[in-house]
């Protein structure tokens, strides 16, 4: 196993699943990482057909709301983030993506808090994103510089607002992420 893939394997191994689906995703991901070193996207949109992504979810520490971006390609409200470059640590990808997409130079937490395996939608549909979800605490009044080439919009969402909205507007695992983060904050 290539050292950069071994590092990702260690990150995923240390992640505690919050529910049965995340446990399945973790098991799937660990098996995939043991079988191949070809885990970084080499050619857009889908080579290899399954590859690593780092999401970064900005959370307002005062009220727990989350910042989501209306992604042009996916047509969904998603956390900021993107593909992990060849040889890049997922944490470094998360820090790079939050700076490129929102102009935020604050680093996310050092470890991901959530893992998902998701079939993509939109223009680039047809591949699988293995996503590590990081969290960064950012106050709602923090100045942002959104990448208008990637997003229709950027906005803060209250947890209850997301739960009352049509789930088809969001990443299919967003509500599970919110449940896990809420549980973690009460421990």
Average pLDDT by consecutive 10-residue portion of the chain (187 residues)? 91 97 98 93 79 95 94 86 93 94 90 93 77 96 87 91 95 96 60
**Angle at which helices 20-35 and 174-185 pack, to 10 degrees?**
110
Apex 65 CA angle, 16 and 8, nearest 5: 30
Residue 124's pLDDT is: 66
Structural domain spans, the chain: 3-185
Q: Which structure tokens are listed for 157?
A: 């969402």
Contact (CB, 8 A) for 141 and 84 = no
CATH for 3-185 (3.30.450.20, 3.30.60.50, 3.90.79.10, 3.40.50.720) = 3.90.79.10
């Amino acid at each position: 196993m290539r050292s950069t893939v071994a590092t990702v394997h260690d990150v995923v191994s240390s992640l505690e699943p919050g529910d049965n689906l995340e446990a399945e995703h973790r098991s799937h991901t660990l098996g995939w990482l043991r079988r191949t070193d070809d885990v970084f996207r080499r050619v857009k949109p889908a080579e290899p057909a399954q590859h690593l992504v780092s999401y970064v979810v900005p959370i307002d520490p005062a009220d727990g709301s989350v910042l989501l971006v209306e992604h042009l390609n996916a047509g969904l409200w998603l956390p900021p983030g993107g593909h992990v470059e060849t040889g890049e640590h997922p944490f470094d990808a998360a820090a790079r993506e939050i700076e490129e997409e929102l102009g935020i130079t604050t680093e996310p937490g050092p470890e991901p808090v959530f893992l998902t395996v998701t079939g993509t939608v939109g223009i680039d549909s047809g591949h699988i994103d293995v996503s590590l979800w990081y969290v960064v605490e950012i106050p709602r009044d923090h100045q942002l510089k959104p990448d208008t080439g990637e997003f229709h919009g950027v906005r803060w969402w209250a947890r209850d607002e997301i739960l009352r909205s049509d789930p088809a507007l969001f990443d299919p695992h967003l509500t599970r992420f919110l449940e896990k983060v809420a549980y973690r904050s009460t421990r």
